Structure formats: structure tokens, C-alpha cells
Structure 1
Amino acid sequence: MTSFELTKDIVKVLDNKKAEDIQVIKVNDLTIIADYFVIASTTSSTHVKALVDEVEFQLKEKGVEPRKLEGYQYANWIIMDYGDVIVHVFHEETRKFYTLERLWSDGETIDMKELLD
């Protein structure tokens, strides 16, 4: 599975579980840590965990497991490391505070229509 295909799968799961303001930034020209950042948020820590649980479950069904998962205990910002794709699921207020989109604004924002076809 390519990093773009993995990104599409992740975005579809997040969209189906009602994640808010899903954004994908292509960062492979800016850093060696990943090809894509997937960023999503919601208004409750319970929903943050539910989103992460569903992404993990759906990808595990396809034989893909995260290398690392951080922040689950607090559920304000959970990071899922899938190697070439890093997933950031935020509580809405935490996302506003850290503004990852601004920090990685030199990356290419991917059109959601391209990911949800």
C-alpha cells in the first residue's frame, strides 16, 4: 500500500466517523519523517478516542498497524505513526492552540475531493 493509498483510507475512516475539519498536508518535500500529515479534530475527548480506535481497527483489518501511538491517555491530541503517514487527532481547543496547519504551511494541502472519491 502506498502512502497516498494509506492516507485515503485514513481520511475515509475519519470522515465516516464524523471527524471535523479533516486536512491532509503533503510534507515529503519538507521533512524525512513522513509523506503526509492527516489532521482532524472533534469537540470531545471521547470522540477523539473513538476516531483513533476506528482508524486503528480498520487499518488492522488490512494488516496495517501503527508503529507508535501517543497521547491516548489524555485524548487532547493523539498521534498515530504509520511510518509515511502521521495522523493527528485533536480535541478542538488543542488544535486551535497548536495550529499544525500553520507550522506546516509550506507543505502541499491535498484537496479532500481527491481523497474521498
Structure 2
Amino acid sequence: MTIENMTKVIYDAIDDKLGEDIAILNIGKVSSLCDYFVIATGSSQRQVKAIADNVEDELTKLGIEPKSKEGHGTQTWVLLDYGDVMVHIFNEENRGFYNLEKLWKDAPYVDVDTLA
């Protein structure tokens, strides 16, 4: 599976749980940290958890496990690190506060339809 395919699976898993404002940033263009950030918002702590769980479940079905994960306890910002792709799922307050899109403003946005 390519990194682009994996990113599309992540996008679809977030969309299936009604994640909002899903953004894909091509971090690889500006940093060696990873290739993509996928950033999304859940409207409640319960939804943040449901989105994160669905991403994990869908990738586990494909034999892909996160290298690490953070934030399941607070459910206000869950980070799933898949090496080449990092998934950030925020509640509304923390999405605005941390504003990763502004922090990584030099990273181009990726249209999900251009992913394999």
C-alpha cells in the first residue's frame, strides 16, 4: 500500500464518522518529519474518540498499526503516528488553539481526490 493510499483510507475513516474540516497537508515538502498530516475536528470528546477508533480499526484491517498514539485519555487531541502519516484529531477548541495549519503554513494542502 502506498502512502497516498493509506492517507485516503485515513481520510475516508474520518469522513465516515462525520469528522469536520478535514485537511491533508503535504508536510514532506517542508520537513522530513513525515509525508502527510491529516487534521480533523470532532464536535465532542466522544466524537474525537470515535473518529480515532475508526481510523485505527480501518488501518488495522489492512495490517497497519500506529507506531504511537497520544491523547486517548483526554480525547481533546488524539495523535496517531503512522510514521509517514500523522493523524491529528482535535475537538473544536484545541483545533483553533493549536492551529497546525498556520504553524505549517508552508506545507501545501492536498486534495483528497488526487490521492490514489
**Same fold, judged at TM 0.5 (above):** yes
Q: Which residue of 2 aligns with 1:9?
A: 9
> 1:112, CA displacement in angstroms?
3.3
CA deviation string 1:29-50 (max 9, x = no partner)? 2111110000000110000000
SS for the counterpart of 1:28 is helix
Return the alpha-carbon distance in structure 2 between the equivalents of residues 11 and 21 of structure 1.
11
What runs of 5+ residues in structure 2 fail to find an aligned partner? none
> 1:114, CA displacement in angstroms?
3.0
Q: Which residue of 1 aligns with 2:59?
A: 59
> 1:16, CA displacement in angstroms?
1.2
SS for the counterpart of 2:28 is coil
**Structure 1 segments of 4 or more deviating over 2 A?**
112-115
1:78 aligns with 2:78: yes
Return the TM-score normalized by structure 2.
Answer: 0.95
Q: What is the total number of aligned residue pairs between the two structures? A: 116
Higher mean C-alpha deviation, range 55-64 or range 106-115 = 106-115
> 1:69, CA displacement in angstroms?
0.4
Q: Root-mean-square deviation (CA), in Å?
A: 1.2
Q: Is the 8 A contact 2:29 2:108 kept in 1?
A: no
CA deviation string 1:36-72 (max 9, x = no partner)? 0000001100000000001101110100000000011
Return the alpha-carbon distance in structure 2 between the equivalents of residues 3 and 22 of structure 1.
17
Return the alpha-carbon distance in structure 2 between the equivalents of residues 5 and 51 of structure 1.
18
Return the alpha-carbon distance in structure 2 between the equivalents of residues 10 and 83 of structure 1.
13
Amino acid at match of 1:42: G
SS for the counterpart of 1:50 is helix
